[in-house]
Amino acid sequence: MSADIIDGKAHAATIRDKVGAQVARLTAQHAITPGLAVVLVGEDPASQVYVRAKGRHTVEAGMASFEHRLAADTSEADLLALIERLNADPQVHGILVQLPLPGHLNADLVINAIDPAKDVDGFHISNVGLLCTGQKCLVPCTPLGCLMLLRDHLGSLGGLDAVVLGRSNIVGKPMAQLLLRENCTVTIAHSRTRDLADVVRRADIVVAAVGRPAMVPGDWIKPGATVIDVGINRIERDGRTVLVGDVDFASARAVAGAITPVPGGVGPMTIACLLANTLTACCRAHGLPEPEGLTA
């Protein structure tokens, strides 16, 4: 058996097209252009790549992109003052502070200073609480992208056993909440979980968000299961740097029913969902109907 490959790149392109079409309609019918502000503090090379990609896709979708690049030694007061200005700016519907922040800045304080209605990363404590209590919110982009892939591939997720590997605030925990909302029976595994292989073997859905290259081998996967690999790990192979996931793709593919590749799986969905969240935030801010099929 060889698993279906879930093509995140193609799904993401479809979402970006849908967002672009709705943005064009908003602009034509209501003279509104959704705007996304991205704040980058310091010069972390990976963050610079992500911020550039976010800006490019934002503009391609017809939205306004506002980039704020601040020096690594920017004070917390100055960063908070910028967030205040963005909160008050009617042209800005989404605010994203690129993580990780330099060590002298308190990330929780900074994220919680963002207006929850503009918190397109879905990390503000209000959005976390709303998600946990099943209320309307802005959902973190990576778990939202995983959910869209799962729904598209499986249809209803109700009653399925799901295991989420990893309990971070940005992926594991919100992913588990979304799966619970879809009526899955959810297990969250982490570094202290005992008999991890057995836990994973029971799952119809496996979402791996650990950050360890190929740590989930094929013989942990239940035959026919759907595997969503969130991991992005850089390793050296044959003298060059390549990206691999948290799942051993070759062996898992032989057992699973469907699997996302790395790269080309969850990664492209994350930015597409950021655009979707910005559009959603803009529609809500203007009291307009929300875009269909682009929220959780």
Binding-site ranges for ligand NDP (CB under 6 A): 142, 165-168, 170-172, 189-193, 196, 209-212, 230-233, 266-267, 270
- Of 291, 243, 238, 239, which is closest to residue 49 (Cα–Cα)? 243
CB 276 within 8 A of CB 295: yes
Burial class (CB in 10 A: 0-12, 13-18, 19+), 156: exposed
Exposed/middle/buried for residue 99 (C-beta within 10 Å: 0-12, 13-18, 19+)? middle
* Shortest Å, Cβ 134 to ligand NDP: 23
- Using CA atoms, how far apart are residues 279 and 182, in angstroms rounded to an integer? 23
| Residue closer to ligand NDP, measured from CB, 39 or 269 | 269
Phi, psi of 42 (to 5 degrees): 90, -170
How far is the C-alpha of 139 from the C-alpha of 120, rounded, in Å? 8
Q: How far is CA 229 from the centre of its chain?
A: 12
Tokens of 207: 């979402």
Residue closer to ligand NDP, measured from CB, 260 or 295: 260
CA atoms within 13 A on the CB side of 277: 32
- Closest CB to ligand NDP among 122 and 267? 267
Q: Collapse the DSSP code of 233 into the 3-class scheme (helix H, G, I; strand E, B; otherwise coil) and give the result.
A: strand
Q: Minimum distance from CB of 71 to ligand NDP (Å)?
A: 25
Which whole-number Å values give the CA distances from 121 to 22, 217, 248, 274, 277, in the listed order? 20, 31, 29, 7, 8
* Minimum distance from residue 143 beta carbon to ligand NDP (Å): 9
Hey, what are 76's tokens? Answer: 């917390």
Spatial neighbors of 210 by CB under 8 A, at least 6 apart, are 165, 166, 231, 246
- Rounded to a whole number of angstroms, the minimum distance from the CB of residue 227 to ligand NDP is 14
Q: Which is nearer to ligand NDP, 168 or 185 (CB)?
A: 168
Please list the active-site residues: 54, 98, 121
Judged by beta carbon, residue 165 or residue 252, the one nearer ligand NDP is 165
Q: How far is the CB of 117 from ligand NDP (least distance, A)?
A: 23
Tell me the closest approach of the beta carbon of residue 107 to ligand NDP, in angstroms.
12
Query: Nearest residue to ligand NDP, using CB?
Result: 168
For residues 100 and 159, which CB has a smaller minimum distance to ligand NDP in the complex? Answer: 100
